[in-house]
Amino acid sequence: MEKGKAFLVGAGPGDVQLITVKGLEAIKKAEVILYDRLANPKLLDYAPSDCELIYCGKLPDRHVLRQEMINDLLVAKVLEGKIVVRLKGGDPGVFGRVGEEAAALAENGLSFEIVPGITSGLSAPLYAGIPVTHREFGESFAVVTAHDKSENGQPNLDWKGLATGIDTIAFYMGISNLPYISENLIKNGKSPDTPVILIQWGTFSRQQTLEGTLSNIAAKAKEVNFTNPAITLVGDIVSLREKLNWFEKKPLFGKQILLARTGTEESELARELMEHGADVIEFPKWKKISVPADQAVISRIPEYEQILFTSPESVKEFFQIIFDAGVDIRKVKADFYGCSTKSVKALNEKGFFAEVEGKMPPAGKMLIVGNSDFAQKYNHAEMFLTSIKVVDEQFTPIFNRILEEASVNTVVLPSSRAVKTIIEEGIMKEIIPQQLLKTSKIVCMGVRTGEAAIEYGIVPDKVLESPDKTAVVNCLARKESELAFV
């Protein structure tokens, strides 16, 4: 068997757009991904649908897989001839144990590449408005682990060198050792008044910060129960935050949104919400299963008067199928309709004028392309399946972990089908807690979506007349008091 190859990839600090181009390319061709807790699970959306996903996450009080087991698993999967991605939060070379994993591969004569990532010690401060170097505040910067392999986990560092020789220090995962860190820096020459900032979940919309000084930061953190994952930044440069804090001023910062997903393609709405500062959890994850093309339907293509496309994906698949079958598009005489504005847009991009389903006349020989959900509604129509869409069950435990760590405060329902999906695939399967729909703000895109939500017992906080991404962003950017029920 031909040996495979491993890519040891830095996933960046959290914001999915901060992964490198090379790292993303590795994910897109992976056959196996071993991923950590701090690698944003949204990156797994880019993996092939048949990619095997293995969770290797660690928490301070428990290990899902110990490092030795991860090394062995990495070697075993590469020996199977697989393209294996080891996806690690931040940069794999900064407290990421990439040296141990690369050594295990090298000792077994296996091929590998190391793909650097953006480390949280640099990025989390920048997302909090603090560059780690500045001509007026500091020309030296150190990254330091706040834990070591000793029994008490307290690092044995050159405290004198850190306190007197380094302007700015970033401690990784140092919350539990804050009293120890502060005490040693002060004891070795750092002023008790030196500014300190704690940055939790840096670069995520759920980013939290806590400011203080070496003399009081430990007490402040204990008072509010501040926890890891966090960066502790020590130095006068922290004072720049008041002027340069940019990320937390984005209009949707702090919004943790559950977005009901009905398609397999990347969501433009999700991307727009993230651009404006929100964290977005798209649920569920769908995958397509190909089905043989119905040749009898293909032969009757010129006879149809109306063709209704159930999704943007069905548009792309339909035209590819008839092209492969040798059908000249000029033989298609039907008027085109889409079940959503996204489907209509997909047809427009192909160069066709199309209308939404609601404007379709009741009579005429009709073909439904895509999802069979609409066959019952139009029982006089013929059905042309381009593929079967099913929920990717491999993502169920991933969603469970995401929902455990996130604090969803907003639910966006783009369509009536999305309402059905969130209930049947989320609530009824106990992946999404029913309570979440009661404690979150519910935004429905369009009147029909709002009506569908009410039928399922969901009370919307806002029903948008204009069901487009700009309207959603504008709605969520308003103050809570303005998000009144419509």
Is residue 266 within 8 A of residue 280, CB to CB? The reply is: no
In 3-state terms, what secondary structure has residue 329?
helix
Q: What is the dihedral of CA 20, 25, 27, 30, to 10 degrees?
A: -150
Give the H or E element holding residue 256: strand 256-260
Q: Could you confirm whether 274 is annotated as catalytic?
A: no
- Sorted by sequence, the CB contacts under 8 Å of residue 327 that are 6+ apart come out as 298, 301
Catalytic pick from 77, 88, 91, 173?
173
Catalytic pick from 15, 36, 45, 335?
36
Task: Please name which of 308, 312, 339 lies closest in space to residue 416, comparing C-alpha atoms.
Answer: 339
- How many angstroms separate the CA atoms of 205 and 140, rounded? 29
Is residue 78 within 8 A of residue 110, CB to CB? The reply is: yes
Q: Could you confirm whether 345 is annotated as catalytic?
A: no
Question: In 136-294, which ranges are continuous DSSP H helix?
Answer: 159-165, 178-187, 217-224, 241-244, 268-275
Q: Could you confirm whether 58 is annotated as catalytic?
A: yes
Query: Could you identify the residue written with the tokens 């306190």?
Result: 163
Quick one: tokens of 314?
């069905």
- How many angstroms separate the CA atoms of 206 and 172, rounded? 18
Is residue 355 within 8 A of residue 343, CB to CB? The reply is: no
Catalytic pick from 5, 58, 287, 288?
58
Active-site amino acid positions: 36, 58, 173
